[in-house]
Amino acid sequence: MKTIDLSDLKAGDKAWSCIDGEEKVTFVYEKEIEVGNARYYKNGKFFEQDTHPTLFHSEQECQEYLGLCATLEAPESNTLTKREQFAMAAMQGLLANTNGAMTEGGSMTFSPDGISRIAVKHADALLDKLNEKP
């Protein structure tokens, strides 16, 4: 998986948070970057032990890291389906999870394939719920 290096960011620059979207870098410390009210390590991780970063230079870098560019640039359409949007939001939330509680079938999983399956399951469940009659 690609390594994220945010050591070139300076106060006033823009960064992309998976949680809050585009934010302004408010302060740069020796090992950390303050964005909004949150501090991230210069590798984009919220906590050192996180498996994946949640802070990037841009939304595009975030999408590339998550492997979503092929979906977002689908030749047949310039827009995402609701299912794709929900799956993307679920995946961002799963990757931003800082306590490592992602499970599938009761076992811990951080693999891209496992996270992708979980994100799609959540998207499908939301669509099913939205299609129910009130």
Q: What is the tens place of the pLDDT at every residue in 34-71? A: 998 889 999 999 888 888 888 999 988 888 887 765 44
Same domain, 62 and 110: no
Domain tally for the chain?
2
* Residue 13 CB-density burial (10 A; 0-12 exposed, 13-18 middle, 19+ buried): middle
In contact, 57 and 81? CB cutoff 8 Å? no
Same domain, 76 and 125: yes
Q: Which domain holds residue 24?
A: 14-66
Q: Say how far apart CA 119 and CA 87 lie, in whole Å.
A: 5
- Among 66, 85, 104, identify where a domain stops: 66
In contact, 91 and 119? CB cutoff 8 Å? yes
pTM over 0.85: no
* 107 belongs to a structural domain: yes
* 90 belongs to a structural domain: yes
* 9 belongs to a structural domain: no
* 7 belongs to a structural domain: no
Same domain, 49 and 95: no
Same domain, 82 and 53: no
Same domain, 53 and 90: no
Q: Encode pLDDT of 90-107 as tens digits.
A: 878 777 765 555 455 554
